[in-house]
C-alpha cells in the first residue's frame, strides 16, 4: 500500500503553529520555575534516563485555546504516546480547544468582551486585539529566570517579541522549511506534465497554456469533466485569490496582504496592483473557456480538497500545507496525477521568492492570560516543554519506538521508523509533530547540546527516504533530486513579515479596518472579475479599484512601512 505522507502539515505546524509562552500576574515576583528547575535530561545514548520531571512538579490542569485551523492530532493530546510522555514529565494535563466554525477576530472579541480567557492562549491574527485589551501577563521576569526558554531565543528575537510598553506577552513563531517540498507554488498534475514531455515551467502564460492544451486533449477524467483551475474561496482560505497567488508572480515574498520592496522596505497593498489584475485575468480566461471549476466560488474547503484528491484538477495555486489533505488522498487514489509546484512569474520578472526568508515572527504566538489562576505553574510547564529532551520527543517521537541515539549522539531512525514517520495515520496516533504550538526550537536550528537537528524533515536521511517510487521516477525527467530543485533557496530575513505586522495592529485602528474592508471588497469582486465577459473585464476592474480608492489604504501602507522599518535593525544580527 502506498505510504501516505503529510509533509506539508509539518510545514504549516512549524511555520504557523510554532511558539509558546508564559508569565506571572505579578512580574516582580520570582517565578516558581527558579525554585524547582526541571530535571536535566539524560545524556544521549545513556541507559539511565533522567527522572521524570513529574516527581518535582505538583499536578496541574490548564486550558488552552488554539486560535487557528484545527490540527489533525488525536484529542485529547495525552492519549498519544508522545502526549503521555510529555504529561509524565511535566505532570500537567491540557484541556485543548480548537477554534472551529468561527472567525479568529470574532472569537477574540467574545473573549475580550467577557474578560475571561483560557489559561494559555494562541493569538493567531488577533494579537493586536489581545494586546490592546491587556489579555496577557508580562513574561519578562519569567524569561530572565527560566531554565530552558531563555536559551530558545536570540537577543534579536527577544527584542522582536517586545511590545511598545517594554513587555513580552507571547512567544513568537520560529519559521522552518521542508527540504523535500516547496512551501507554495503554481501546481500542475503529473499526467499533464508527462503529456507535455516534462517542460520546465517558468512563466505564468506558459502555465496557463499548458492547462488549456491539456484540458482540450483530456476533457474528462473518470467520467467527470476535467477541471482546468480551481482555487480555495471559503472563509480565510480565500486569501489565495484575494492576494496570495499574485504576489509571487512579480518576485515578492509572502508578506500577507502587502508586498514589500526589499530595497526600500515600502509596503504596498496587493489588491489594486497590476499583478493582481493579471491573476484575475487568468481566472477570467479559464472561466470563459469553460475550464475553470464552476463551483469555485461556492465550494467549501472540504469540497476543494476532495476535488484535488479525485485527480480531476489540472492546475491551481496554493500553499502546500493548505492542500495536504487533498494531496494525501490523491496519492492514495492515483499518484500518477499528483500535483507538482513550479515557481512561475510574469514575463520579464527575473527573481522569485516562493520559499521565502528564514524568518522569526514575533507578531503572534502563545501566552499566559490574566485569568490564569496559577501563572507560575503554567510557565513552569512551558519551560519544561522547552527542554531539549521534550522538544526532541515532540518531533522525533519516543526513544526506542520511534528513534534511537547513534554512537555520536545523533538521532537515527530505522527504515521502519522512517516509514512510520512518513505515514500520516501513524503520526496522528503516535502524536509525533502533532503539537506544533509547543515548538520552541526552530526546525533548522541545531540544539546547543547534542547538535541534533530539531526536525527529522530537515535531515539528509529524510530527503533520501521522503519520496515514493513514482516521485523518484518523475524527478529523473527533470534531472532533479528534490521538488525544491527548480525553486530559489530560502534566504535570511531582512524585516518582520508583513503578515506579522498585520497581526500586531489593533483591529479598532482605522487603518487596520481599511485593510480588512479592502479584503471584503476583493472577495466580492474576484468572482465578478472571473465570471464577466472578456470584453467587460476592464470595466469591472475599474469599478473594483474605484471602491478600493475610497478607503484610506495608503495610510495602512504608511503604517506598515513604518513598522517594518522600525524593526528592520533587529534582523541584522
Report helix angle 553-567 to 510-531, nearest 10: 120
pLDDT band, very low/low/confident/very high, at 474 (cuts 50, 70, 90): very high
In the block, cell 472540504 appears at 302
Summarize the confidence of residues 37-52 as an average pLDDT. 34
User: 41 and 110 in one domain?
Assistant: yes
172 contact partners, CB below 8 Å, separation of at least 6: 19, 157, 160, 161, 360, 361, 362, 363, 364, 365
Domain contains 25: yes
Do 128 and 48 lie in one domain? The reply is yes
Report the pLDDT averaged over residues 278-292. 98
Q: Which three cell numbers stand for residue 445?
A: 536550528
Of the residues 464, 480, 498, which one is the last residue of a structural domain? 464
Question: Which of the listed residues 464, 499, 519 is the one where a domain comes to its end?
Answer: 464
Clarify whether residues 15 and 160 are in a common domain: yes
pLDDT for 33 equals: 34
Q: Does 494 map to a domain? A: no
**Selected residue with higher pLDDT from 452 and 64:** 64
CATH of the domain at 102: 3.40.190.10
3-state secondary structure of 315: strand
- 491 in any annotated domain: no
Question: How remote is the C-alpha of 517 from its chain's centroid?
Answer: 24
In this structure, are 70 and 151 located in the same domain? Answer: yes
Within-domain flag for 483? no
Give the residue numbers spanning the domain of 279.
Answer: 184-354+509-571
Beta carbons of 20 and 171 less than 8 angstroms apart: yes
> Is 374 among the domain residues?
yes
Q: Supply angle C-alpha 461, 462, 463, rounded to 5.
A: 95
The x, y and z cell numbers of residue 375, run together, are 501563572
Instruction: Return the pLDDT at 229.
Output: 98
Q: Comparing C-alpha atoms, which of 96, 121, 126 is closest to residue 108?
A: 126
Residues 429 and 350 in one domain: no
The gap between the terminal CA atoms of the chain, to the nearest Å, is 48
pLDDT at 34: 31
pLDDT of residue 154: 82
160 and 20 assigned to the same domain:
yes
One domain for residues 191 and 298: yes
The verdict on residue 278 lying in a domain is: yes
**pLDDT at 40 exceeding the cut of 80:** no
| H helix intervals, 174-234 | 190-195, 204-217
pLDDT one-digit tens code per residue, 413-462:
998 999 899 887 898 889 988 776 777 776 554 444 455 556 787 777 78
Q: Residue 267 domain-assigned?
A: yes
Largest CA distance in the chain: 75
User: Is the pLDDT confidence value at 518 over 90?
Assistant: yes
Of 129, 59, 45, nearest to 412 by C-alpha is 45
If asked whether residues 204 and 71 sit together in one domain, one would say no
Residue pLDDT, tens place only, 171-202: 887 766 677 899 999 999 999 999 999 999 99
Query: Domain for residue 469, yes or no?
Result: no
b/e sequence 389-424, b meaning 16+ C-beta within 10 Å: bbbbbbbbbbbeebbbbeeeebbebeeebbebbbbb
pLDDT of residue 102: 59
Domains contained in the chain, number: 2
Residues 336 and 214 in one domain: yes
pLDDT, residue 45, reads: 34
Q: Are residues 312 and 212 in the same domain?
A: yes
Same domain for 173 and 189, yes or no, is: no
Amino acid at each position: 500500500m502506498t505510504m501516505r505522507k503529510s509533509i506539508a502539515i509539518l510545514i504549516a505546524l512549524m511555520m504557523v503553529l510554532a511558539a509558546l509562552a508564559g508569565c506571572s500576574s505579578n512580574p516582580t515576583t520570582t517565578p516558581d520555575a527558579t525554585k524547582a528547575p526541571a530535571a536535566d535530561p539524560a545524556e544521549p545514548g545513556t541507559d539511565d534516563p533522567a527522572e521524570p520531571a513529574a516527581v518535582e512538579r505538583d499536578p496541574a490542569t490548564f486550558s488552552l485555546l488554539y486560535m487557528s485551523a484545527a490540527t489533525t492530532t488525536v484529542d485529547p493530546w495525552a492519549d498519544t504516546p508522545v502526549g503521555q510522555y510529555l504529561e509524565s514529565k511535566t505532570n500537567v494535563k491540557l484541556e485543548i480547544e480548537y477554534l472551529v466554525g468561527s472567525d479568529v477576530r470574532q472569537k477574540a472579541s467574545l473573549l475580550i468582551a467577557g474578560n475571561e480567557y483560557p489559561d494559555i492562549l494562541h493569538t493567531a491574527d488577533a494579537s493586536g486585539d489581545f494586546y490592546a485589551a491587556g489579555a496577557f501577563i508580562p513574561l519578562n521576569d519569567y524569561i530572565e529566570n527560566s531554565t530552558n526558554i531563555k536559551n530558545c531565543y536570540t537577543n534579536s528575537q527577544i527584542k522582536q517579541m517586545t511590545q511598545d510598553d517594554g513587555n513580552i506577552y507571547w512567544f513568537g513563531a520560529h519559521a522552518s522549511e521542508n527540504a523535500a517540498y516547496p512551501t507554495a507554488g503554481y501546481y500542475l498534475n503529473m499526467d499533464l506534465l508527462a503529456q507535455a514531455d516534462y517542460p520546465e515551467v517558468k512563466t505564468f502564460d506558459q502555465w496557463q497554456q499548458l492547462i488549456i492544451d491539456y484540458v482540450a486533449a483530456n476533457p474528462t477524467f473518470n467520467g467527470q469533466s476535467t477541471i482546468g483551475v480551481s482555487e480555495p474561496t471559503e472563509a480565510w482560505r480565500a486569501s489565495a485569490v484575494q492576494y496570495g497567488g499574485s504576489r509571487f508572480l512579480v518576485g515578492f515574498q509572502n508578506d500577507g496582504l502587502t508586498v514589500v520592496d526589499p530595497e526600500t522596505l515600502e509596503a504596498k497593498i496587493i489588491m489594486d496592483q497590476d499583478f493582481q489584475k493579471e491573476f484575475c485575468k487568468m481566472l477570467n480566461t479559464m472561466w470563459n473557456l469553460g475550464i475553470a471549476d464552476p463551483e469555485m466560488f461556492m465550494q467549501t474547503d472540504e469540497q476543494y480538497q476532495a476535488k484535488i484528491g479525485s485527480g480531476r484538477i489540472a492546475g491551481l495555486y496554493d500553499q502546500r500545507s493548505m492542500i495536504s489533505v487533498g494531496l494525501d488522498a490523491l496519492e492514495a487514489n492515483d499518484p500518477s496525477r499528483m500535483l507538482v509546484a513550479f515557481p512561475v512569474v510574469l514575463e520579464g520578472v527575473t527573481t522569485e521568492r516562493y520559499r521565502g526568508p528564514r524568518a522569526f515572527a514575533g507578531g503572534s504566538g502563545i501566552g499566559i492570560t490574566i485569568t490564569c489562576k496559577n501563572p507560575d505553574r503554567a510557565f513552569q510547564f512551558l519551560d519544561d516543554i522547552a527542554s531539549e529532551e521534550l522538544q526532541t520527543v515532540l518531533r522525533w517521537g519516543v526513544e526506542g519506538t520511534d528513534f534511537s541515539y547513534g554512537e555520536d549522539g545523533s538521532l537515527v531512525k530505522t527504515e521502519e521508523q522512517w516509514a512510520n514517520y512518513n505515514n500520516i495515520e501513524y503520526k496522528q496516533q503516535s502524536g509525533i509533530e502533532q503539537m506544533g504550538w509547543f515548538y520552541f526550537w526552530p526546525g533548522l536550528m541545531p540544539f546547543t547540546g547534542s547538535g541534533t537537528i530539531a526536525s527529522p524533515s530537515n535531515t539528509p536521511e529524510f530527503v533520501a527516504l521522503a519520496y515514493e517510487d513514482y516521485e523518484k521516477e518523475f524527478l529523473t525527467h527533470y534531472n532533479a533530486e528534490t521538488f525544491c530543485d527548480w525553486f530559489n533557496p530560502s534566504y535570511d530575513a531582512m524585516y518582520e513579515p508583513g503578515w506579522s505586522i498585520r497581526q500586531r495592529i489593533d483591529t479598532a485602528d482605522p487603518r487596520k479596518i481599511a485593510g480588512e474592508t479592502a479584503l471584503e471588497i476583493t472577495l466580492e469582486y474576484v468572482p465578478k472579475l472571473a465570471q464577466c465577459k472578456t470584453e467587460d473585464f476592464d470595466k469591472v476592474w475599474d469599478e473594483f479599484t474605484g471602491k478600493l480608492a475610497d478607503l484610506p489604504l495608503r495610510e495602512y501602507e504608511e503604517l506598515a512601512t513604518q513598522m517594518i522599518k522600525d524593526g528592520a535593525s533587529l534582523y541584522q544580527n
